[in-house]
Chain A
Amino acid sequence: MHVAGRKVAVVGMGGAFPNCSGLADFNEKLFTDQSLIREWDAALAHGKQIRSTVSGFITEAEMGLETVYSTLAEGYPETYIDKLGRIPDINLATADIGSIWAMLGALDAIKMAGWTDSETQSEHTGVVVGSGGAGHVVLRIAWHNFFELNKKSRTAGSHTVDRTMVYRDAANVSCLIKNQGVCEAIGSACATGLGNIGYAYRLIKFGLQDRVIAGGVEGTSLETFIGFDGMQVLSRGFIPAESSRPFDVNRNGFVCSFGGGIVALEEYELAKSRGAHIIAVIDEYFNNSDGDGNMFAPSFPGQQRLWQGLMRDTGLRPDVVKVHGTSTPAGDAIELLSVADALGDSGYHISAPKSQFGHMLGAAGAVEFIAALLMLENQQVLPCLNAETLNPELETFQKTPQWAGPVNPLAAYRHLLPQTTFAKEINRIACLNYGFGGTNSAISISRDS
């Protein structure tokens, strides 16, 4: 299905990043080993109702936005005002917070890419952006107004559909930039961000589009947060900066965070011919499913097949592996052993950006893809903060007869996991993300040679 000779370049990026004023601030904070995780007042306000209170959240004010509340439904965000005048009111009227972040990220990515209006508005330009979407203030208030307060459906206004539909982020970006090509959203839980970028890569690689705006967003949402809080899977008991601790023996859950990552992809020769800066070249994207019927548990065989699929055609080995690394007890152990099974125990390093900003759910794969792009640009490896002690004992599953992976404890791979940013020559990075439902995604990117 690949069209011979077609390559895909990354030429732009943008997004929404917790506790950061923009991409430059995000870059500066990441590579100085800072944590973007904070105590969240919105969670703290619920006292004993809620178990975890740390998050990489983003407020409306931090994004230059102001909420306009409805006079008809208490607490209902009727629309938003862009205090910085970046998005027209007509587009804000159809957008939830995540969609606004997607539009802002798209504008930044297109600006960095240097696309003209005619290129952006071409039928050869697509938009592929998605979100995890596990809860939403717009629906919560609208439904409460109708079901509990018995008010008429029209009191929630006429925008509950466009502001909450599954592909709202893509639709809003498309209506803003007026592209005439594909407009879709891929949903694959916490692999959504990378899944959309991977799908966009294929659209160009297969000759269906020349340019695609792609990525994932997860708007700040206590509704989403409490779903995971109720599952008892969120980190608790640490100060914010130490709450996300992938691979550490004392990890006890992930930090539920929010954000957005949008990239501009372009067919390589087109980008090259107009003199664009090539941030990275995408070598390959591969995704699969565990196939074991388990909604939640990671699968070593599934991840083994993921690595085989990623490297099968190219044979390319990464200098850095940007892991999913959520900081959950089960996920991290399987992932580290899968990486070691595929690549051995030397010749590469592992970077875990969630240690710095938490798990952005549907945005995770896209924002972490941007973190990988920054690693390529800066020629520095981002750390795995708080991975202080790796388990010196074998994991329980490693002691079972059916275990077919490495028989070393996680501590044997200590040297692969830097705790501070460091410089080295980076030519290639592999990015991994997984999601509920047993979905696995991997992408390989390289420096332009």
Chain B
Amino acid sequence: MERQEIIDGLVEILKTIRTIDPQKLGDITEDTDFIADLNTPSTELINIAAKAEQKFDVEFDDDDIDDLGSKVKDIVDLIIKVKERG
């Protein structure tokens, strides 16, 4: 799965999080920080992770989530890592 394909999927997830301003979703990059750039409430990060598991058909370990950073590339890396882990 290509990284941009994952980012596009993440943007679709972010559109369902009503506490994120949809106007900020136009130029999401790997360096976008969910908290600093999108002003996402920290409580919503677990919702994004859970929806990513469903969308990309992966299951994160608890350690994966505990160690997850707040940038888009962090969750892209995790999704690829878990897919490779199989």
Q: List residues of chain A with CB under 8 Å of any chain B CB.
A: 68, 71-72, 79, 81, 89-90, 92-93, 152, 154-155, 157-159
Contacts and interface: CB of A to CB of B under 8 A. Distances in A.
Given A93-B41, A154-B46, A158-B44, A72 B18 contact: no
B79 to A, nearest CB: 16
B4 interface: no
Interface stretch (B23-31, B49-57, B67-75): B49-57
A93 to B, nearest CB: 5
Most chain A CB within a 10 A radius of its CB, from B16, B18, B43, B44: B18
A154 B43 contact: no
B interface SS class = helix
A38 B44 CA distance: 38
Nearest to B55: A71
A98 B40 CA distance: 25
20 contacts: A68-B16, A68-B18, A71-B16, A71-B51, A72-B51, A81-B18, A90-B19, A90-B41, A92-B18, A93-B18, A93-B19, A93-B41, A93-B43, A93-B44, A152-B50, A155-B50, A157-B47, A157-B50, A158-B44, A158-B46
Given A89-B18, A154-B65, 12 more contacts: A68-B18, A71-B51, A72-B54, A79-B18, A89-B19, A93-B19, A93-B43, A93-B44, A152-B50, A155-B50, A157-B50, A158-B47
A154 B41 contact: no
Contacts of A155: 50
A89 B54 CA distance: 24
A154 B50 contact: yes
A81 B46 CA distance: 21
Nearest to A80: B18
Interface size class of chain B, counting residues whose CB lies under 8 Å from the partner chain? 10 to 19
B69 to A, nearest CB: 17
Contacts of B51: 71-72
Given A93-B18, A93-B19, A71 B54 contact: yes
Contact of A157 (B18, B46, B54, B65): B46
Contacts of B43: 93, 158-159
A93 B17 CA distance: 9
Nearest to A162: B43
Nearest to A156: B50
A76 to B, nearest CB: 12
Nearest to A94: B43
Which 4 A-B pairs rank lowest in CB-CB distance, beginning with the nearest? A89-B18, A158-B43, A154-B50, A158-B46
Contacts of A68: 16, 18
A71 B44 CA distance: 15
Nearest to B44: A158
A79 B19 CA distance: 10
A92 B50 CA distance: 20
A72 B44 CA distance: 14
Contacts of A90: 19, 41
A154 B49 contact: yes
Nearest to B46: A158
A123 to B, nearest CB: 25
Nearest to A151: B50
Nearest to A93: B19
A316 B18 CA distance: 52
B56 to A, nearest CB: 13
A154 B52 CA distance: 12
Contacts of B47: 157-158
Contacts of B54: 71-72
A71 B13 CA distance: 10
Contacts of A79: 18
A90 B51 CA distance: 19
